[in-house]
Amino acid sequence: MRFALLLGILIFLQPSAPASAAPKEIGLALGSGGASGLAHIAILRVFDEMDIRPARISGTSIGAVIGALYAAGLSADEIEAIFRDFAGSKLDALTGILRSDLKLYDVLAVNLDDGGLIDPTAFLKFLAGHVEATRFEDLHIPLAVVATDFWSGESVIIDEGDLFAAVHASMAVPGLFDPVIRGDLLLVDGGTSRPLPFDLLFSDTDRVVAIDVSGNRRPSDDNTGITDLLFKTFELMQQSLIREMILRQEPDLYIQLDISDVRLLEFHRLDTILEQARPGAEHLREQLRKWQTE
C-alpha cells in the first residue's frame, strides 16, 4: 500500500511532457521585377499545395500586385488565370507599340500627360474586379506594400486605406507609370528604395522568406537596345540594394529565382517564367518541410 502511494506521488511529481510546439509563423516578402515577378505565382503555389498560410506578406511593385491578390484570398491558380486573361500580347515598354494581339491594350493604355508613358488605371480596375477586398482592412492576410517618396527618396510603407491605390504607387516605375500623389508625398515605384521588403517582417513573424525576382543578365550576341539598357540598369540598382539589406540582416530563407531574358512587360511569357521559377519553388518546398519537422 505504501509502495503504491509512493509510486503515485513520484508519477505526480514527474514533469509533464512538453506541449507540441506551435507552428512557426512565416512572413513572406515578394520582390519587384516587372514581368519576372510572375514567378511569385510558383512560390505561392507551394504554399497552397502544402496548406501553409503566410502570417504576413510584404511586397514591392509586382510583388505588391501579386501579394495583394493572394492576401485578398485568391489562390496561386486563380492569380495565374488572371494574368493569362490579358497576357496575350507584347508591349514595347519605351514606345508603347503593341505587337500581335490587342488584349493587353485593354488594360495598359498609352498616356503621355501625367508623368508616365502608360496609364495603369484600367489594369488596376481589372485586378480589383477579381477580389472583394478594396481596403487593407478587408484582406485575409496582413499586407504591407512599399512605395518611394520621390522628393526624399525614403521608403513609404502602406498597410491601410485603399488597397489598389497603394498598389498603384508601389508599381509606379518612373517614366513608365505615372506617380501617385498621397497627401504631401509624390510616390513612385518601391523598387527604387526597398525592392525586397523582407525587413518589414522580422518583428512580427518567426521565419522570414524573401523571394528575389530582380532577374539575371547573361552575355548575348544580340544588340542591347535603349529599352533594355534603361530597365536592366534599374534591375542592377535593385540588386545592389538587396545585397546591402542582406548584409544588414539575412532573412531565414532567401531565394533568388533565376529568371533571365525576360523584359519588363513581357507578361505574355508566363509559361517561360513559371518554368524558370520551378527550381526555386522546389527549394522552398524542401525548406518548408524541414521547418515542419523542427
- Residue 47 CA, distance from chain mean position: 14
Average of per-residue pLDDT across 249-263: 93
Min mean pLDDT across 8-22, 33-47, 67-81, 222-236 is at 8-22
Min mean pLDDT across 82-91, 119-128, 173-182 is at 82-91
Q: Is the pLDDT of residue 103 over 80?
A: no
Q: Which residue matches cell numbers 511569357?
A: 269
Q: Is 72 exposed, middle or buried (0-12, 13-18, 19+ CB in 10 A)?
A: buried
Nearest to 213 by CA among 142, 179, 264: 264
How high does pLDDT run on average in the chain?
84
Average of per-residue pLDDT across 234-252: 93
27 DSSP 8-state letter: E
Confidence of residue 232 (pLDDT cuts 50, 70, 90): confident
CB-CB neighbours of 102 under 10 Å: 9
Min mean pLDDT across 11-20, 109-118, 212-221 is at 11-20
Q: Which residue matches cell numbers 513609404?
A: 156
How many angstroms separate the CA atoms of 169 and 149, rounded?
10
Contacts of 1 (CB under 8 A, 6+ apart): none
Confidence of residue 275 (pLDDT cuts 50, 70, 90): very high
Beta bridge partners of 158: 145
* Share of residues in the chain with pLDDT > 90 (%): 62
pLDDT of residue 90: 46
- Amino acid residing at 150: F
Q: Is 134 exposed, middle or buried (0-12, 13-18, 19+ CB in 10 A)?
A: middle
